[in-house]
Structure 1
Amino acid sequence: MNLTHLRVLEAVARHGSVTEAAKELHYSQPSVSHHLRRLEAATGARLVQRVVRGIRLTPEGELLARRAREIIGRVDAASVELATQVGLRAGRVRVAGFQTVLSTIVPKAAAELSASYPGIELVLTDVHAVEALRMLRAGHVDIALVFRHSDTPDEAEGLRLTHLLDDPLYLISQQPDQRLEDHRDSAWVGGCERCRAAMVTACERAGFTPRISYFSDDMVVVQSLVAAGMGVATLPGLALEAHRTPGIHATEITGNTRQIFAATYGEPPDPPATTALIKILKTIA
């Protein structure tokens, strides 16, 4: 027996017709019949019977066809796995993402990628999430690491998103166990436009509009201003994991999270290196 003979038998079993099996396999009908005769000679068993409207499998033929289906499935799966592994011996994956995810999840993922697939080159670019999406759509990167708050518009048109984690929002102040409404008269430190919008929304839900006196996209600057008593702020959990300034306290604001995604663009499947990195990112996140 060889794999070609088994593919022929399995196709005949599925279609119940030499003609249809020949069409699927791109063989001539005589060639299909020839392979069936060769398989019968190799097994010493009669596998097909001629009937008025074509052929049908004998019990021995049905048994072998079932086994052939299993064998072909395993061989095809092995071929896909092997092709993927070969594709991971070399290549490049380009990633654009925002500061907090690049300083927490990505370094661990980069180390894992390097250890598992040393032939893959990883290129990282630190940009805001909106710019990361522009780079992705323009073809400048393979993966954009982005976030979306629950009340922000969906930007997923044409994108394929892999959810990595939910990142909660925290009130940053000099005292523990504070509430947003405790700071309706305090000065606030605002971050980037999207983060600032999330802070304002959280405060408005608590019944007031924050008085934003300082603006900084840098999580170290934001925490330092709070530690110095200049105001309060909100920061996501990943920012606190990346850096924690002494003298501040973080209190989770319930019901306020941002979802973090690995975004790809275009028709699947993704290149093997891209798929491998997304799988690692998801596991670590």
Structure 2
Amino acid sequence: MDSRRLLVFREVARAGSLTAAARALGWTQPAVSQHLAALERSVGLPLVLRGPTGTSLTEAGEVLLRRADAVAAELHAAEEELASLAQLRAGRVRLHCFPSAAATLVPEAVRALATSHPGISVGLVEAEPPEALAAVGAGDADLALVFGYDAEPVGLGPLVWRPLLTEPVHLVLPPEGTASSLDALVDADWIGGCERCRVHLVDCCRAAGFEPALRHETDDYVVVQNLVARGLGVTALPESALTAYRHPEVRVLEEPALGHRVVGVAHRPGADQVPATAALLRELVAVVSGG
């Protein structure tokens, strides 16, 4: 059943004549008559009786009018809900994000969004880049805040990539010791992070001429720094992890040989046109730019 014809029939029933309905709709009377006739053919029953003073409903017309009123009410509600979304009075954004950004960038962006558009809710899920990208690709998330070392992250596929910032990776050393560069840590015990972080660390150490001895593995930057502070190894951490938490006893040294990490947002094509999603993207950019 054609919903447009159903609403035309509703207007005829409410107006009491084809002419009055045409006037209310801004159509011609023959156009209204054609839609009504097509609707009657589709239901297989007459809906309106035409007379010299106007129209009256048949029993089938009375039944259908009740349904037509319900359809009109639902369509009006849908229009109101869509208007709320378009005007950012409502909406929800699902964000998947790696831990250090979830502790640094995201809270400020979400707070700003809650202030400017309190009707928008943000659902945050902590996830490493492969899982976050997979969630966006599967439609389970709207945005993935992810990273790649010295380049955009692998596995983007058809997703749109928007870089936000580039951050250095630092050496994190125990309080005691004199080592001040990567190539001076040939004999050190190393603490590895997530899989991508470990691969990057090993590649950097190999480029410096040695194979790192990975004694511990954890992607919790608080645990990593506590291990380092107690002299149980050395590690490399990106700046955001040290911004989120900085152990007072570790030494942090700049080391260009460790490269940098590119942080950005991935989303499905066209997702940045959804008002609530676009609003969160703007807030993330503003946090990064200091605005």
TM > 0.5: yes
Q: TM-score range by the shorter chain?
A: 0.5 to 0.7
Matched residue, 1:227: 229
Letter in 2 for 1:216: T
1:40-51 to 2 correspondence within 5 Å? Answer: none
Q: Which blocks of at least 5 consecutive residues in structure 2 are unaligned?
A: 1-82
Matched residue, 1:164: 164
Matched residue, 1:282: 285
TM-score, length basis structure 1:
0.67
Q: 1:126 to 1:176 in 2, by over 3 A?
A: farther
C-alpha displacement at 1:267, in angstroms?
Answer: 3.4
Does the CA-based 8 Å contact 1:163-1:282 persist in structure 2?
A: no
Does the CA-based 8 Å contact 1:176-1:250 persist in structure 2?
A: no
C-alpha displacement at 1:103, in angstroms?
Answer: 0.2
Letter in 1 for 2:266: A
Aligned-partner Cα distance in 2 for 1:197–1:94: 29
Matched residue, 1:133: 133
Letter in 2 for 1:279: R
Matched residue, 1:193: 195
1:241-260 to 2 correspondence within 5 Å? Answer: 241-254=243-256, 256-260=259-263
Matched residue, 2:103: 103
In terms of mean alpha carbon deviation, does 117-126 or 144-153 score higher? 144-153
Aligned-partner Cα distance in 1 for 2:110–2:207: 39
C-alpha displacement at 1:204, in angstroms?
Answer: 1.3
Q: Which blocks of at least 5 consecutive residues in structure 1 are unaligned?
A: 1-82
TM-score, length basis structure 2:
0.66
RMSD of aligned alpha carbons? 1.9
1:4-43 deviation per Cα after TM superposition (whole angstroms, max 9, x unaligned): xxxxxxxxxxxxxxxxxxxxxxxxxxxxxxxxxxxxxxxx
Q: 1:176 to 1:116 in 2, by over 3 A?
A: farther
1:263-282 to 2 correspondence within 5 Å? Answer: 263-267=266-270, 269-282=272-285
Q: 1:140 to 1:268 in 2, by over 3 A?
A: closer
| Count of aligned positions | 203
Does the CA-based 8 Å contact 2:88-2:120 persist in structure 1?
A: yes
1:149-194 deviation per Cα after TM superposition (whole angstroms, max 9, x unaligned): 1267743321111111002101000257710111100100011110
1:80-113 deviation per Cα after TM superposition (whole angstroms, max 9, x unaligned): xxx7984311010110011000000000001100
Does the CA-based 8 Å contact 1:176-1:251 persist in structure 2?
A: no
In terms of mean alpha carbon deviation, does 245-254 or 223-232 score higher? 245-254
SS of aligned partner of 1:164: strand
C-alpha displacement at 1:244, in angstroms?
Answer: 0.6
1:189-211 deviation per Cα after TM superposition (whole angstroms, max 9, x unaligned): 01111011111111112111110
